[in-house]
A and B are shown apart, each in its own frame.
Chain A
């Protein structure tokens, strides 16, 4: 009986490995993959999409001055719904169907680390 339980546990573990979504990335991986093309690897707003032909420059995530104007919920809303729904540039796309709620909150925390700042009280 014990052996049977062991086998079931091992099978469940293997099935879990196979069924784990391929997209489960760390917050840094998510930032580099989704955000850095515009905002830059270090978050300074200088990714390869920040070309002189763009109508606006991507936000510098290290700017304490700019980032402290945004509340945590503002940041979450921008990531989730994009610039168009939040009154900023339409070049910021919505990620609500690409990233999970948890990943979006992790990214918000990561941005707070980059700017070393908090939102308005």
Chain B
């Protein structure tokens, strides 16, 4: 009797594992199909380019690369954002003249679910898991505000106000949007992810420990 129960439960576990896995896989494939069909590839790359674009080629790009989207974004944020996209960048991509036109197409619930599965599957080993935990620390605030002056280019919430510069992506709500370990990996080697960025290289300017503290601070931003 006990053996029979064991067999049944094992079969059930295997079934659930396969069913769940195949559901996710179907979502990834469906998401990939939708991503192409909806024209997302006109603005976003989903494979790491074989060679770095020239600066002039890079400036023509219309949207951020997404080949590491699964390592960068939180899945639940992606799912919601794809259905109701709000500008992450106050300025249009690669522009300091034009405001973001806020015209990113929206997907319906099912489409967003599939595209989220697809984007979440685009990961890179460069982002190691479990290094950074979101944490609002005084030290993080000092590095962010006093040492590096990050709000010079990024919007942040300060009390009830939103303050800061407009050239970089907003950090308002960064905690809901970004994977803490990606923030750290980006600070460590930003050009691995994006060939050109006006954000200065901070390696050698802040210590590795400070980078982790800073990443945790940004990852806790509301």
Grouping DSSP codes into helix (H, G, I), strand (E, B) and loop, the A interface class, with mixed when no group exceeds half, is loop
Q: Does B65 contact A (CB under 8 A)?
A: no
Mind listing 26 A-B residue pairs with CB under 8 Å? A22-B55, A25-B55, A29-B55, A33-B198, A34-B198, A34-B200, A37-B198, A38-B165, A38-B167, A48-B167, A49-B152, A50-B165, A51-B166, A53-B162, A84-B146, A84-B149, A90-B145, A91-B151, A92-B152, A93-B148, A93-B149, A93-B200, A94-B205, A95-B200, A97-B200, A97-B202
Nearest B residue (CB) for A97: B201
- Verify B146–A22 contact, CB threshold 8 A: no
Binding site for B on A (CB under 8 A): 22-23, 25, 29, 32-34, 36-38, 41, 47-51, 53-54, 82-84, 89-98
Of B40-48, B90-98, B121-129, the stretch lying at the interface with chain A is B90-98
Which among B54, B146, B165 is the interface contact of A49 at CB below 8 angstroms? B165
Contacting pair B205 A91 (CB below 8 A): no
Q: Are A22 and B201 in contact (CB under 8 A)?
A: no
What CA separation (Å) do A45 and B114 show in the bound complex?
Answer: 45
Known: A25-B55, A38-B167, A47-B167. 10 other contacts (CB 8 A): A22-B54, A22-B196, A37-B167, A49-B165, A51-B165, A53-B162, A54-B151, A83-B149, A91-B152, A98-B200
Binding site secondary structure of chain B:
loop
Closest to B150 in A: A93
**Chain A: minimal CB distance from B158 (Å):** 8
Inter-subunit contact B54/A97 (CB<8 Å) = no
Q: How far is the CA of A33 from the CA of B96 in the complex (A)?
A: 9
Number of interface residues of B (CB under 8 A): 32
Bound complex: CA A48 to CA B167 (Å)? 6
A34 to chain B: which residues have CB within 8 Å? 198, 200
Q: When the two chains form their complex, are residues A49 and B200 in contact, meaning their CB atoms are under 8 A apart?
A: no
